[in-house]
Chains A and B, each alone.
Chain A
Amino acid sequence: MLTSHLLPDAAFRVLAEGTGSPATIRLLHEAQLSKHLMLLHAIAEAASPSGAPAEGLAAFRAGYALLADLQATGEGAEEWLLGLPHLGSWAHDCLIRLEQGSAADFAHFACLVAAAAIRSGLPFELDVPVRDGRVQLPGLGFVRITDECSWIRLCCDGDRVAVGPQWETNRQYLVPDDGSGGSIPQWSGTPMIRAIADGLVWHVLLETEDRYLDRYTLPMAAGLSAEEVRHWRHCAQAAWEVLVQNHRWAAEPMPDVVSVIVPLTPQCDTDLVSATTPAAFGAIATSWPPDPVTMAETLVHESQHVKLCGVLDMVPLIASGGEKVYAPWRQDPRPASGLLQGVYAHLGITRFWNAQRHAETDPDSILRAQVHFARWRAMIDPAAQTLLRTGCLTEAGVRFVDLLRAQGKLLEAEPIAGEAREIAAQAVLDHRLTWQVRHVAIDKAGVASLAAAYRRGESAREQTRPRAWIEAETRKVDPTVRSRLLNMRYLAPARYRELCAGETLVLSEPDRLLVDGRVTAAVQAYCDDIAASADPQPDAWIGLALALHQLPPSPVQVAFASELALMFDVHSHLGGRRNPLDLASWFA
Chain B
Amino acid sequence: MTSQEQGLKTLIPDLRNIPVDRLAELGSSALARSIALYRERLKENGVPLSSFQARI
Closest 4 CB pairs of A and B: A211-B52, A314-B10, A215-B50, A8-B7
With A37-B15, A315-B10 in contact, is A279–B39 under 8 Å at CB?
no
Q: Do B11 and A316 have beta carbons less than 8 Å apart? A: yes
With A64-B20, A214-B51 in contact, is A314–B12 under 8 Å at CB?
yes
List A residues at the B interface (Cβ < 8 Å): 2-12, 30-31, 33-35, 37-42, 44-45, 64-65, 67-68, 71-72, 78, 89, 92-93, 95-97, 99, 103, 105, 211-215, 219-220, 277-279, 313-316, 320, 337, 395-396, 399
Q: Do B39 and A42 have beta carbons less than 8 Å apart? A: yes
Label chain B's interface by main secondary structure.
mixed
Indicate which residue in A33, A35, A37, A93 contacts B53 across the interface (CB closer than 8 Å): A93
For A10, the chain B residues whose CB sits under 8 A away are 7
Q: Do B13 and A34 have beta carbons less than 8 Å apart? A: yes
Q: Do B10 and A31 have beta carbons less than 8 Å apart? A: yes
A-contact 0/1 string along B1-38, CB 8 Å cutoff: 11111111111111110111101101001110011001
For B20, the chain A residues whose CB sits under 8 A away are 37, 40-41, 64, 67-68, 71, 78
For A103, the chain B residues whose CB sits under 8 A away are 56
Q: Do A93 and B21 have beta carbons less than 8 Å apart? A: no
Q: How many A-B residue pairs have CB under 8 A?
A: 150
For A67, the chain B residues whose CB sits under 8 A away are 20
Q: Do B13 and A3 have beta carbons less than 8 Å apart? A: yes
Label chain A's interface by main secondary structure.
helix
| A105 vs B49: C-alpha distance when bound (angstroms) | 12
| A60 vs B5: C-alpha distance when bound (angstroms) | 43
- Write the nearest CB–CB distance from A292 to chain B, whole angstroms: 29
Q: Do A278 and B8 have beta carbons less than 8 Å apart? A: no
Q: Do B50 and A2 have beta carbons less than 8 Å apart? A: no
Q: Do A314 and B6 have beta carbons less than 8 Å apart? A: no
Q: Do B51 and A219 have beta carbons less than 8 Å apart? A: yes
For A6, the chain B residues whose CB sits under 8 A away are 6-10
| A412 vs B52: C-alpha distance when bound (angstroms) | 44
- Write the nearest CB–CB distance from B31 to chain A, whole angstroms: 6
Q: Do B50 and A38 have beta carbons less than 8 Å apart? A: no
Indicate which residue in A4, A30, A65, A215 contacts B9 across the interface (CB closer than 8 Å): A4
Q: Do B5 and A71 have beta carbons less than 8 Å apart? A: no
Q: Do A5 and B21 have beta carbons less than 8 Å apart? A: no
List B residues at the A interface (Cβ < 8 Å): 1-16, 18-21, 23-24, 26, 29-31, 34-35, 38-39, 42-45, 47-53, 56
| A212 vs B48: C-alpha distance when bound (angstroms) | 11
- Write the nearest CB–CB distance from B8 to chain A, whole angstroms: 5
Indicate which residue in B3, B5, B10, B38 contacts A4 across the interface (CB closer than 8 Å): B10
Indicate which residue in A35, A68, A211 contacts B21 across the interface (CB closer than 8 Å): A68
Q: Do B49 and A2 have beta carbons less than 8 Å apart? A: no
Choose among B11, B26, B44 the residue with the greatest number of A CB atoms under 10 Å from its CB.
Answer: B11
Indicate which residue in A4, A97, A315, A396 contacts B14 across the interface (CB closer than 8 Å): A4
- Write the nearest CB–CB distance from A465 to chain B, whole angstroms: 34
For B4, the chain A residues whose CB sits under 8 A away are 9
With A67-B20, A68-B21 in contact, is A97–B13 under 8 Å at CB?
no
Choose among A7, A103, A213 the residue with the greatest number of B CB atoms under 10 Å from its CB.
Answer: A7
For B7, the chain A residues whose CB sits under 8 A away are 6-12
Minimum CB distance partner of B43 in chain A: A99
Indicate which residue in A37, A45, A96 contacts B49 across the interface (CB closer than 8 Å): A96
For B49, the chain A residues whose CB sits under 8 A away are 93, 96-97, 215
| A335 vs B1: C-alpha distance when bound (angstroms) | 26
For B6, the chain A residues whose CB sits under 8 A away are 6, 8-9
Q: Do B16 and A34 have beta carbons less than 8 Å apart? A: yes
| A34 vs B15: C-alpha distance when bound (angstroms) | 5
For B35, the chain A residues whose CB sits under 8 A away are 38-39, 41-42
- Write the nearest CB–CB distance from B29 to chain A, whole angstroms: 6
For A44, the chain B residues whose CB sits under 8 A away are 23-24
| A399 vs B1: C-alpha distance when bound (angstroms) | 13
For B42, the chain A residues whose CB sits under 8 A away are 92, 95-96, 99
For B2, the chain A residues whose CB sits under 8 A away are 395-396, 399
| A278 vs B42: C-alpha distance when bound (angstroms) | 10
6 A-B contacts (beta carbon < 8 Å): A8-B7, A33-B15, A34-B12, A38-B12, A211-B51, A214-B52
Q: Do B44 and A320 have beta carbons less than 8 Å apart? A: yes
Q: Do B11 and A95 have beta carbons less than 8 Å apart? A: no
Q: Do A34 and B14 have beta carbons less than 8 Å apart? A: yes
Indicate which residue in B8, B13, B19 contacts A38 across the interface (CB closer than 8 Å): B13
- Write the nearest CB–CB distance from B24 to chain A, whole angstroms: 7
Q: Do A30 and B16 have beta carbons less than 8 Å apart? A: yes
With A212-B52, A213-B50, A214-B51 in contact, is A71–B19 under 8 Å at CB?
yes
Indicate which residue in A38, A320, A337 contacts B15 across the interface (CB closer than 8 Å): A38
- Write the nearest CB–CB distance from B37 to chain A, whole angstroms: 9
For B45, the chain A residues whose CB sits under 8 A away are 278, 320, 337
